[in-house]
Amino acid sequence: MAKVFEQIDPELQTWIAQQHVFFVATAPRGDDGLLNCSPKGLDTLRVIDDRTVTYLDFTGSGAETIAHLKENGRIVVMLCAFNGPPRIVRLHGKGSVVHPGDATFAALVAQFPPQPGVRCVIRVDVTRISDSCGYAVPLMDFVAEREALTKWAAKKGPGGVLDYQRENNARSLDGLSGVDWLEPSN
């Protein structure tokens, strides 16, 4: 049933690319901190090599993943098959935040379709790759990507998105440092 992989092989990479949604979970270091689990979509996950994945992180209501990764780097990416044979894949690893001021940001973003509202790229150096049965995961049909986030970011424009990040993404719910790479607005 469950299997641990040495690397993300071509078959697994193809399977990952076919999934329309994935989930990201992180946690702060302390026992009293809030765990975070976020769903992701919009064709934003890429396998870079057999032990590295990246995904686009969009401006959102919080900055939990960013804050947790900056504090301790722990992350798991989980994908589920909602059609075809049942399967769950987990990619555990050490995550890092690549923000627009970083030298590698432009090259990483170039691997994705252009999207408004990209806040940063999350890079995961994968330390454990496993799958499990997924027998209890329901079968569902993919209808379409939601357009709400991209429409929101396009309407706000780049300056409005940055203002939103300054106001809403500077700290996590636990008070950890979030989006701290932006200059204060004038």
CB neighbours (10 Å) of residue 122? 25
Encoding tokens for residue 165? 């990040």
Q: What pLDDT, on a 0 to 100 scale, did the predictor assign at position 186?
A: 60
Mean pLDDT of the chain: 96
Say how far apart CA 21 and CA 133 lie, in whole Å.
17
Say how far apart CA 125 and CA 1 lie, in whole Å.
25
pLDDT tens, 15-39? 999 999 999 999 999 888 999 999 9
8 contact partners, CB below 8 Å, separation of at least 6: 16, 47, 49, 50, 51, 53, 91, 126, 129
How much of the chain, in percent, has pLDDT values that exceed 70? 98
What number is the average pLDDT over the span 51-78?
Answer: 97
Residue 183 has pLDDT above 80, yes or no: no
Beta bridge partners of 128: 92
pLDDT tens, 91-139? 999 999 999 999 999 999 999 999 999 999 999 999 999 999 999 999 9
**Would you say how long the chain is, in residues?**
186
pLDDT tens, 135-153? 999 999 999 999 999 999 9
The CATH number that domain 3-168 falls under is: 2.30.110.10
Beta bridge partners of 130: 4, 90
What is the 8-class DSSP label of residue 154?
H
Beta bridge partners of 4: 130
6 contact partners, CB below 8 Å, separation of at least 6: 129
Closest CA to 91 of 122, 46, 130, 65: 130
CB crowding 41-66: b at 16 or more within 10 Å, else e: ebebbbbeeebebbbbbbbbebbbbb
Q: What pLDDT, on a 0 to 100 scale, did the predictor assign at position 24?
A: 98
Within 13 A of 53's CA, how many CA atoms are on the CB side?
A: 30
